[in-house]
Structure 1
């Protein structure tokens, strides 16, 4: 018995052979597209799961701090190059030395105490303008004696601070100038000044 062609509701009549072929091709294409999309989602989920496993499996922790600078060793090496005695401050044990090097005509050591930072700079043979230039043009606001060394005091107001410098001490050491400055206070700067007092006196004694 011959099969009666199926009437398609959308058409209101039986499909032609070409329409049947086109319908099946479209259905097949839709199936393949759906399968490709599902495969993509599956691959993304698998990749995400792998990343999560890696993140959870790898131990995490804070980065180890670099070793503090050996100021005495750095000073000895620099002295060989410049042929001049350089300051090695005696500071509290908990002050971390982050840097010690020649910067132009200045030997500069940077410490990190409990709060802020302190720089001890020795300007070798610098002129009187060096301190003012280093501090952004500020003039001293007073003076103080620390361990029998006379220092000029610089108190820099918050509105005019550059590089967070808030306080400084300066004195002559023979032909050199010593500048202690940083994001610090008077007591902390005084500790650094006490730590170089004897060395400053030796530099003064060497000056004719």
Structure 2
């Protein structure tokens, strides 16, 4: 006996050969599509896992700290060039040096830029030793501001400048300067008068040495 074709529930009658082929083709296509999606999801998960492992395993070093500035070494070259002592601030742990250079021009200046080493402290002070200069040189660094007063620090008399926002650098709010033999020493920046005075006092022995040498 020949096999009776099964009745398709959706059609209410047996499928034709063409309908059977079309149904199987559609089912095969749906299966392949689902497999493609599964494969893509699996590949994405594998990629993410590999990235995570790389991030977790590869060591991440700390940022390289800037190389300390050899102020004393630079100062030796300055002294050789200028034929006299250059003032070098003593770093007692509070200050760090951001820059140190000999600046040429009508007046040659040895300048050291200091900033607090601690992150919670703010401001800066620049030490400028102007060779063969006097107090008339200082206003060039302070946008023409003349001294408004004098103060005594470490047994020396210092000119007091208060440039405020009128300074050559808007951050410069206070400055003091004193004569050191043939040179003029200026401390200027954005630290308080008290902080500037403390730095000035620590420099007095060297300022006296410069006075005796020049």
Same fold at TM > 0.5: yes
- 2:157: which partner in 1? 150
Is 1:120–1:192's contact at 8 Å kept on the other side of the alignment?
no
1:188 is displaced (CA, Å) by 2.0
Is 2:110–2:130's contact at 8 Å kept on the other side of the alignment?
yes
Whole-angstrom CA distance in 2 between matches of 1:144 and 1:27: 92
- 1:112: which partner in 2? 115
Whole-angstrom CA distance in 2 between matches of 1:133 and 1:5: 106
Which SS does the other structure have where 1:135 is aligned? coil
| Equivalent of residue 184 in structure 1, options 163, 183, 191 | 191
Is 1:70–1:97's contact at 8 Å kept on the other side of the alignment?
no
TM-score (norm 2): 0.70
1:3 counterpart = 2:2: no
Which SS does the other structure have where 1:16 is aligned? helix
- 1:72: which partner in 2? 72
Is 1:68–1:96's contact at 8 Å kept on the other side of the alignment?
no
1:180 is displaced (CA, Å) by 0.6
| Number of equivalenced pairs | 199
- 2:43: which partner in 1? 40
Moved more, 144-153 or 95-104: 95-104
For structure 2, the residue ranges without an aligned partner over 5 or more in a row are none
Whole-angstrom CA distance in 2 between matches of 1:79 and 1:147: 24
Once superposed, which parts of structure 1, at least 4 consecutive aligned residues long, lie more than 6 Å away? none
Q: 1:49 to 1:204 in 2, by over 3 A?
A: closer
Is 2:84–2:213's contact at 8 Å kept on the other side of the alignment?
no
TM-score (norm 1): 0.71
RMSD of the TM alignment (CA)? 3.6
